[in-house]
Structure 1
């Protein structure tokens, strides 16, 4: 029989404890190593998949897919660089040139005959079958297509529509759509023209196109871009490549630029001028009876990927537009009505400040002409 002293037993226990601890520590290190190795491999696979997808879109066999990809990302400041990874500047320019509309007809004001609706005491359907149920002069109609959902707002009295802009704040501060509604005591509003937005980091204070407020040019921008929309003193909406010199000639009271133009004199712009990807959209138009159409489409969401320019043009024609123009879209696309936003903002960082907004004044209030 072998006898062990207490010291020997205790020492053996300590050694076993140390060995157990070492073994556990080694297992933890091994598990952590395996975890980070799997994570690294997964990230590499995801990056390779994304790179392969970008390459397929950029250099794959489908010109349609390539053009759709380029137009979609180039319309978004924050991710526009993705098109540059596998395509040259010349190739991108050639794709974007396909949506230019160089020979637009001049807006024919005679096609718009503004109807002054009298008070009948009860809601009545208009020529297009839409009814102002609450008789506030505004009709909101949900719209939907294969890739989008949104809202079309019909403002029956065009004299209630003005461009929301704070000229003294241009270049220093922008405002949200809701803030423009509050500033101008409006019942509804949508976002307006574009603005300087380098890499998606713009503060929404500086327009990048012509801006007209109360008949005065308050920002010359860099021209009018691929489209200008302006409302004259008789509440006729004009679209086209209006220059600063033409603003006075046309008696434009409120307007801003973005584009492209969608509908001119009751006809859609040529399909090649409406090449685009799927994105959140905002547009404005006018029916033959003078009613102003405001369209906002949700995008970059599981339930609504977005719309193309052609989708916008089709919707505008469906609602009776004789003239219509695309406005700024993407993360800026918002519609505000009766104290709240009625569409979903596509921005992951929250609602953006913008330099201009088309607002709908309260009944009886008139814009400053």
Structure 2
């Protein structure tokens, strides 16, 4: 019997390129499916919170997202614009007056730094760290209120002129401390138009430098010619002139007025976010406050948290400023207390995924020489 050898046909070799494409397509399909399921899951969770039995949880999530420049539109998808508006209106101020009287504030003659509180702070600035259940925060006390002023990104605001970053503006101004200040146009994009122009009234050096745009529904804070901080539910250019306001901007809500706290704001579900606020003690000392948020170790603070801190530090008047990814506090160490003399330090921490300060049009800054 003849031995017959069966011919074996070699398998065609697969091209490496086709294999790679096939693996890549499978990976992309897996990735897309995973992301899709995650998005669906998150939407279901959000819908449960927005339309579930707990209105408190709904309000906290709504306010947290409304104060995020990129997520303002999200709550309305689940509960509608009308409900969102109602939630915002629930934090209307319940304060005794429209404008602070500030009779409790008496600036100390000569702004003396001889007392125990200021003996180790020759530049007239103290910085302290505070914390709560959901936040880490930084309090800056400025002894001389006359040194606090409104700095602006441009002498003439325009959408053609981008706003500036606070770390650049503090150098331009030659200031020794700074925080972000008022409202500005923000459509949630990375366009250069964002942060270029303010919203609402802005006064700098005794002059009205801006009074158009969509002003915040409530809130104004500034300093008059006597260096007393004035807070108001609303403010017009004519009213500011009457009150002799030298520097100020719009944002809110007002949290403390003439020693009375805003009960509606305190009891509201304002959400946890990065926060910036400003206040003034009875002796004239100005309080800058920044609360870190949107990071692993600090979710953020609420209006109640701001009020608690301001009350602890003796604020007679206090107002919420722009927060979220705008929140920032800088200090130029003129005394070498933190290391290298004259080095500019960022005191608080950026929000998650943020690499540098945002561009913005207005800042509260501190001139050098506050030691008087």
Q: Same fold (TM over 0.5)?
A: yes
Compared CA separation, residues 132 and 76, structure 1 to 2 (3 A): farther
Contact 1:210 1:224 in 2 (8 A): no
Contact 1:58 1:87 in 2 (8 A): yes
Q: Which has the larger radius of gyration?
A: 1
Contact 1:98 1:275 in 2 (8 A): no
Structure 1, residues 152-193: CA drift from partner, whole Å, max 9, x if none?
Answer: 000011111011114524122311112221122101100010
Contact 1:132 1:138 in 2 (8 A): no
Contact 1:195 1:205 in 2 (8 A): yes
Structure 1, residues 53-100: CA drift from partner, whole Å, max 9, x if none?
Answer: 110121011100000011111112211111011111111111111011
Equivalent of 1:190 in 176, 179, 201: 179
Compared CA separation, residues 345 and 29, structure 1 to 2 (3 A): closer
Equivalent of 2:356 in 350, 355, 362: 350
Q: TM-score, normalised by structure 2?
A: 0.86
Number of the residue aligned with 1:228: 220
Compared CA separation, residues 218 and 167, structure 1 to 2 (3 A): farther
The runs of at least 4 consecutive aligned structure 1 residues that moved more than 6 Å come to 23-30
Q: CA deviation at 1:313?
A: 1.0
Equivalent of 2:31 in 32, 39, 42: 39
3-state DSSP class of the match of 1:56?
helix
Structure 1, residues 250-277: CA drift from partner, whole Å, max 9, x if none?
Answer: 1100000110101111121113575411
Equivalent of 1:205 in 196, 200, 204: 196
**Counterpart check, 1:309 vs 2:303:** yes
Distance 2:46 2:75 in 1: 8
Distance 2:73 2:260 in 1: 34
Distance 2:198 2:20 in 1: 57
Matches within 5 A, 1:166-181: 166-171=153-158, 172-181=161-170
Q: CA deviation at 1:205?
A: 1.2
Instruction: Provide the alpha-carbon RMSD of the alignment.
Output: 2.6
Equivalent of 1:141 in 128, 131, 147: 128
**Counterpart check, 1:157 vs 2:144:** yes
Distance 1:200 1:132 in 2: 46
Whichever structure has more helix as a proportion of its residues is 1
Q: CA deviation at 1:200?
A: 4.0
**Counterpart check, 1:85 vs 2:77:** yes
Name stretches of at least 5 consecutive residues in structure 1 with no aligned partner: none
Equivalent of 2:327 in 309, 333, 336: 333
3-state DSSP class of the match of 1:107?
coil
Name stretches of at least 5 consecutive residues in structure 2 with no aligned partner: 333-343
Compared CA separation, residues 242 and 27, structure 1 to 2 (3 A): closer
Relative to structure 2, which stretch is displaced further, 201-210 or 184-193? 201-210
Distance 2:154 2:356 in 1: 24
Number of the residue aligned with 2:294: 300
Q: TM-score, normalised by structure 1?
A: 0.87
Q: CA deviation at 1:287?
A: 0.2
Distance 2:152 2:219 in 1: 19
Q: CA deviation at 1:198?
A: 1.1
Contact 1:180 1:189 in 2 (8 A): no
Contact 2:204 2:246 in 1 (8 A): yes
Q: CA deviation at 1:312?
A: 0.6
Distance 1:256 1:104 in 2: 21
Compared CA separation, residues 31 and 114, structure 1 to 2 (3 A): same
3-state DSSP class of the match of 1:109?
coil
Distance 1:170 1:26 in 2: 57
Contact 2:104 2:258 in 1 (8 A): yes
Relative to structure 2, which stretch is displaced further, 201-210 or 228-237? 201-210
Structure 1, residues 327-365: CA drift from partner, whole Å, max 9, x if none?
Answer: 111111000112121111226363211100000110169
